[in-house]
Structure 1
Amino acid sequence: SPNRESGSIRVSIEKVDLLINLVGELVITQSMLNQAGLNQAQGGGASAEALLNGLAQLERNTRELQENMLQLRMLPINVAFNRFPRLVRDLCNKMGNKVDLVLTGEQTEADKTVLEKIGDPLVHLVRNSLDHGLETPEVRAAAGKPEQGRLELSAQHESGNIVIRIIDDGAGLNREKILQKAIENGLVSDKDELSEERIDNLIFQPGFSTADKVSDLSGRGVGMDVVKRNINDLGGTVSIHSRQGEGSTVMIRLPLTLAILDGQLASIGEDTYILPLISIVESLQIRSENLNSVAGSSELYRFRDEYIPIIRLNSLLGNSGGIENLEQGLLVVEAEGQHAGLFVDRLQEQQQVVIKSLETNFQQLEGVSGATILGDGQVALILDIPGLVHLFHKTRNQMTVPALAAAS
């Protein structure tokens, strides 16, 4: 039955053999530590060194075991890609388009769960490219392009993540139309100065699902907010880069696995929080001349050529601690194509953490994606950066402070 199929996974015998060898190594390390412990108990000589060697070996074994266990869940991305040749052929026949589909990096591996959940957003993005990105042969010929359009799906590993790109050489996005639509829907003000990238990424806003069916924007907009939400739920990010008349590139960045996260530990008051490294742009020491208060209760920080909103986590998360002085560090994070600054009292080390669900163990908290247990047994919350930025804007709007669009 299909249910039983989705609950099982095919694993090569080499991966299993490797795992068995690693468990053997673990048993040897355990007996080595046992021996060192006994010697220590009996007041033996140089057993402290043996104990330290044994612990270092245990750390190596555990790391290798962890990496190989994750490999068991890894499948090549062609599991998600293999439906597209037929989908593209069928849609092209229906619409009278000519499209050359190119798949690259199909052997790039990712977690089975990630691949299962990314399937639908990918279908949506590919349909949008075919439906509204790539023009008909007549329009392409008139624009001096080859009649056959090109659609590329590529996957590759980049700094501990999997990056999927959907590239078309179509018409690109109509920025005037997007901006006009966004102003109509009250997503931005006509006074805001937005960069081209910000305008392109407005199509991921919920307001765009009401695009009128007649416009060539309709497919680019309908349901793009759902695509974005699904990708954010996987701990990933999505953005679009468009060149008018030349085409568009949608870039999806996803974690390789949903069980483990590369995190930055930070202290705020007495508490330790974990911020996903994927969201951090840079950390810096606060310079008071770059800090500006606006309307009494909002703060902006000058970061290079833009002003970014400051989020004080201790007040947002109801944490009474926190020094809140200018000796603090500022973490510049990115969410939904926008930068924001988080005040932290102290940055600690970076480490991989195992994610424990808050929903199953406690309850869902806004701005928090999960929790983990640190080496000293302390529970630390893992912050959900897009959720925090959303919560910050929501609470600020409730306080009737004028919303500030960070000038890009």
Structure 2
Amino acid sequence: MLDECKLTITQLSGAAPAAAETPAAVKPDPVSEPQASPEVQQPVITADNSTDIEAEAKTSKAAPPAPAASSSIRVGIDKVDSLINLVGELVITQSMLSELGNNFEMEKLDRLSNGLEQLLQNTKELQESVMRIRMLPISFAFNRFPRMIRDLAAKTGKQVELKLSGEQTELDKTVMEQIGDPLVHLVRNAIDHGIEPAEERQAQGKHSEGSIHLNAFHKGGSIVIEISDDGRGLNPEKILAKAIEKGVVDPSEQLSKEDIFSLIFEAGFSTAEVVSDISGRGVGMDVVRRNIQDLGGRIEVESEIGKGSTFRVHLPLTLAILDGQLVRVGTETYIIPLISIVESLQIKSEQVNEVSGGMVLYRLREDNVPVIPIYQEFGLEADNTELADALLVVVEDGGNKIGLLVDDLLAQQQVVIKSLESNYQRVEGISGATILGDGSVSMILDIPGLIQGASRRAQNNHGRAA
């Protein structure tokens, strides 16, 4: 049948070209066949009209370099059609603006303003369309779990049922590639630590088959992935006792239930009595939290003894663009991710308290929020060095809050993130950079890093005071 074959004709080096198939009654004259010159590179012609030159077949014995690893993405034709239509609209707007630019007169000012607004609208739609192309359903990450859970259940002798929901929730391809390993570790922990053996579950009045539920949904400008189980849950008393034994926390320190649960993400921390090749080695959970934070996300834990646990992962939809609040410190402009901002306020002097070690705390309702002067953090000259004259931007990550001291609040806008580490080097307190509309470069603040730095300074001050 037609279109069901592929023809490849390859010229062998130093040999006469192979004769094409001809009827038996017609024989090509071998004398008339031209001999290939050994110095000439001969092409390999394939049926798909592509040509490959066998370079350096005789002159070099070195193997050709391996092709660079590349990745691809499958895109629906509807998304491609939408992108083509938007490009067409952009071309029309550009042509209109170009015509207005010729012999411009003040009478054309209204048409120019309308054209610029149309250009802005087309650019936004084009940006959203391109970002949709990068989005994939999270089912690509969830599809690995049915077999993995079946194998782990057989290995541990437990009965486990997997429930999936929200598989069509879309996530940026880059985020999805990097969230796979943390999800695997959380699911393995749920089977090893959370789900009880069938006999133990029946003794507690539960169904002999445990359940693990993976759920994904959009919330605001982020995606939430939940890993839930109906197992034995986390024991806060046991976790706290282990933390005190390891010296992670002070015995006299009062911790909330959420603070105790966050201890499981400390490096080397494990309450498992038996070490297995599945979990309980004291490694992994700290890496899980760090990987999630590197993606600009955070993880929360909810648990009740005897009823199960839920690990809730909050992630940005994309790593390429973020919604940011522009702030000014002296002559520099910084960007704070909007998702991290709790509130902005004018400082009241009576709410400021200075503790040992020079740490300044601001009383915000029920919380004492450490104040971080940005001008001191990055060695700048600020307009306002007195707390009473400055603005405080309260940010939060992982349940911890700090206040960033700034001179002024500017606009809110979407910014394209440029990696500082790949183009320069890693800078403490900075997660990336972007280029503003006036062409200047603005740094994006690393909120988790600033919070961790404030926590370290507080611990050091507490140690010196002790």
Normalising by structure 1, report the TM-score: 0.92
Q: Which range is displaced more, 175-184 or 80-89?
A: 175-184
Task: Compute the displacement of 1:5 (Å).
Answer: 8.3
Q: 1:167 aligns with which of 228, 236, 239?
A: 228
Task: Compute the displacement of 1:153 (Å).
Answer: 0.4
Task: Compute the displacement of 1:208 (Å).
Answer: 1.3
Contact 1:260 1:355 in 2 (8 A): yes
Are residues 198 and 221 of structure 1, via their aligned partners in 2, closer, same or farther at CA, if it must alter by over 3 Å? farther
In the alignment, which residue of structure 2 is the partner of 1:377? 439
Contact 2:210 2:231 in 1 (8 A): yes
| Distance in 1 of aligned mates of 2:366 and 2:98 | 59
Q: Are 1:299 and 2:363 counterparts?
A: no
Deviations 1:21-42 (CA, angstroms, capped at 9, x unpaired): 11110010001111211141xx
Q: Are 1:352 and 2:414 counterparts?
A: yes
In the alignment, which residue of structure 2 is the partner of 1:22? 86
Amino acid at match of 1:25: E
Q: Which protein shows a greater Rg?
A: 2
Q: 2:274 aligns with which of 209, 214, 220?
A: 214
Are residues 244 and 221 of structure 1, via their aligned partners in 2, closer, same or farther at CA, if it must alter by over 3 Å? farther
Q: Are 1:64 and 2:125 counterparts?
A: yes
Amino acid at match of 1:22: L
Deviations 1:290-311 (CA, angstroms, capped at 9, x unpaired): 2111015011122222222222
Amino acid at match of 1:23: V
Matched ranges for 1:5-404 at <5 A: 7-40=71-104, 44-208=105-269, 213-214=273-274, 219=280, 222-325=283-386, 326-395=388-457, 400-402=460-462
Task: Compute the displacement of 1:179 (Å).
Answer: 1.2
Contact 1:330 1:344 in 2 (8 A): yes
Task: Compute the displacement of 1:327 (Å).
Answer: 3.0
Contact 2:417 2:434 in 1 (8 A): yes
Flag as ranges the 4+ runs of structure 1 deviating above 4 A: 3-6, 215-218
Are residues 223 and 350 of structure 1, via their aligned partners in 2, closer, same or farther at CA, if it must alter by over 3 Å? same
Are residues 73 and 145 of structure 1, via their aligned partners in 2, closer, same or farther at CA, if it must alter by over 3 Å? same
Are residues 374 and 138 of structure 1, via their aligned partners in 2, closer, same or farther at CA, if it must alter by over 3 Å? same
| Distance in 1 of aligned mates of 2:68 and 2:77 | 21
| Distance in 2 of aligned mates of 1:90 and 1:162 | 29
| 3-state DSSP of counterpart to 1:11 | coil
Amino acid at match of 1:15: K
Amino acid at match of 1:13: I
| Distance in 2 of aligned mates of 1:361 and 1:91 | 42
Deviations 1:203-242 (CA, angstroms, capped at 9, x unpaired): 1122416x56538996495310001111111111112111
Q: Which range is displaced more, 356-365 or 223-232?
A: 356-365
Is the helix fraction higher in 1 or 2? 1
| Distance in 2 of aligned mates of 1:11 and 1:369 | 30
Contact 1:128 1:220 in 2 (8 A): no
Task: Compute the displacement of 1:59 (Å).
Answer: 0.3
CA RMSD of superposed structures (Å): 2.2
| 3-state DSSP of counterpart to 2:269 | helix
| Distance in 1 of aligned mates of 2:175 and 2:141 | 10
| 3-state DSSP of counterpart to 2:333 | strand
Q: Which range is displaced more, 364-373 or 216-225?
A: 216-225
Greater relative CO (CA pairs within 8 A, separation 6+): 1
| 3-state DSSP of counterpart to 2:396 | strand
Q: Which runs of 5+ in 1 are unaligned?
A: none
Contact 2:401 2:451 in 1 (8 A): no
In the alignment, which residue of structure 1 is the partner of 2:20? none
| Distance in 2 of aligned mates of 1:169 and 1:219 | 19
Contact 2:158 2:198 in 1 (8 A): yes
Amino acid at match of 2:392: L
Task: Compute the displacement of 1:402 (Å).
Answer: 1.3
Contact 1:366 1:391 in 2 (8 A): no
Amino acid at match of 1:339: K
